[in-house]
Amino acid sequence: CVCLLLGRKLTLFSQDYSLGLNDLIVSSLELTVHVGDSALMGCVFQSTEEKRMTKVDWMFSSGEHAKEDFVLYYYANLSVAVGRFQNRAHLVGDILRKDGSLLLQNVEEADQGNYTCEIRFEMESQVFKRTVALHVLPEEPNELVVHVGDSIQMGCVFQSTEKKRMTKVDWMFSSEGHAKEEIVLRYHPKTQPTCNRVNLVGDTSRNDGSILLQGVKESDRGSYTCSIHLGNLTFRKTFVLHVVQKELRSITLGTWLASPSSGPTGRSRKKELIFSQHEPSARPYSSPIESTTLKIQELRDGLELMSKVIFTWLQGRHCMLCSGRENDPELARESKEQRENKKGPEPKIEEFSDQRFHILANTVH
């Protein structure tokens, strides 16, 4: 006697199932990854019944009504990835434990869509199904730039639909031109990682092994490789770190306020003002967006600096015009009455039109 339940749900080990004609469907899950990362999509049948899993199929559909394509199939102890998923899709679940989970490596933009797992059992017509909606985000930059003395965070997350906890995290470093690797940080759930300048800032309960490197030195330049272990699975990610110095740029403002032909005394005066600011040295950009952003920042800094220079020059010019005649020794000998009866208009700003303003910009490399 076979009883078919249509449209009803039951719960086995905290999982929601829908029973249909020959199908046992699990509620769908969602997973978000970046291009180039790995995605672990779980497909586990949890039951107290003794069932022998004989076949596993993983199908992919790019849309709701799109055609389904094979990703991977397992039968008779043989697992085969198909089409463009070859060498990237792997069956990583324990078949004896009714686990048909899929690991998809080096995720591409075209991998976004719905992945459906189908598990069949020996001597049964019923099929266990689970769907995972995979969302793919643009690739994160793997080349990072930091100034000496600053801090930088390097992210490393193993995205999974399963609640498996990572068993170990390793961060390794190799300097430019040297193949030998050094240990940066090692984490085990039962131990607390210790390092003076490196801190584990990721949420380990979410398989996040991100680190923060503080007080960066020039010797920190090189490659950093993160390895997250989930049992016998390992996810790796590598960053290239560029370290640049903060360089000093000085701008000297020299103003000659009078030439022999433009003033009553032929005296010359000079004011100098030095502005300093830190500028990054020439360096490779990790992306066109970063290059454009940095150029806009440099342009903004340059305009702000130039406005300070012009403002200071205008202040000096104004003070010269206001005080130049009052400090003239010849005018000081004149009586108040002579100055009041003196004919002719007061000197205008145009009298000083031949004054020269010179800016010397020196960039220290």
DSSP string, 63-78: STTSPPEEEEEEETTE
Token pair belonging to 32 = 């978000």
Residue 355 or residue 133, greater confidence: 133
The span from the CA of 164 to the CA of 161, in Å, is 9
The span from the CA of 24 to the CA of 130, in Å, is 9
Strands 8-12 and 102-104: unpaired
DSSP-assigned letters across all residues of 101-160: -EEE-S--GGG-EEEEEEEEETT---EEEEEEEEEEEPPPPSEEEEETT--EEE--B-EE
Mean pLDDT of 308-336: 59
Highest mean pLDDT: which range of 256-260, 306-310, 349-353 = 306-310
State the sign of the Cα–Cα–Cα–Cα dihedral 18, 20, 22, 23. Answer: negative
Residue 12 or residue 148, greater confidence: 148
Mean pLDDT of 251-269: 45
At CB < 8 A and 24+ separation, what contacts does 257-260 make?
257/316, 257/317, 257/320, 257/355, 258/320, 258/324, 258/352, 258/355, 259/354, 259/355, 259/356
Burial of 23 (0-12, 13-18, 19+ CB in 10 A): middle
The span from the CA of 280 to the CA of 145, in Å, is 11
User: Edge-to-edge strands of the sheet including 53-61?
Assistant: 8-12, 15-20, 23-34, 127-137, 113-121, 53-61, 69-75, 78-81
Report whether pLDDT(219) > 80. Answer: yes
pTM for the full predicted model: 0.61
| pLDDT recorded at residue 65 | 76
The span from the CA of 256 to the CA of 356, in Å, is 6
CA dist list (Å): 258 to 261, 309, 320 = 8, 19, 9
Between 4-18, 119-133, 275-289, 291-305, the lowest mean confidence (pLDDT) is in: 4-18
The span from the CA of 242 to the CA of 152, in Å, is 11
Please, how many CA atoms are within 13 Å of residue 170, restricted to the half-sphere of its CB? Answer: 12
The span from the CA of 241 to the CA of 224, in Å, is 8
Nearest partner of 330 among 340, 317, 321, 339, judged by Cα? 339
The span from the CA of 253 to the CA of 271, in Å, is 7
Token pair belonging to 303 = 């305009």
Residue 154 or residue 287, greater confidence: 154
**C-beta separation of 275 from 260 below 8 A:** no
The span from the CA of 292 to the CA of 294, in Å, is 6
Report whether pLDDT(365) > 70. Answer: no
**Residue 149 — left, alpha, or beta (φ > 0 → left; ψ -120 to 50 → alpha)?**
left
Structural domains in the chain? 8-137 (2.60.40.10), 143-244 (2.60.40.10), 246-363 (no CATH)
| pLDDT recorded at residue 255 | 44
- pLDDT tens, 140-180? 999 999 999 999 999 999 999 987 778 899 999 999 777 78
C-alpha 134, offset from chain centre: 21
- pLDDT tens, 79-129? 999 999 999 999 998 999 899 999 999 999 999 999 999 999 988 888 999
DSSP character at residue 34: E
Strands 233-244 and 53-61: unpaired
| pLDDT recorded at residue 72 | 95
**246-261 burial by CB neighbour count: b if 16+ within 10 A, else e?**
eeebebebebebbeee
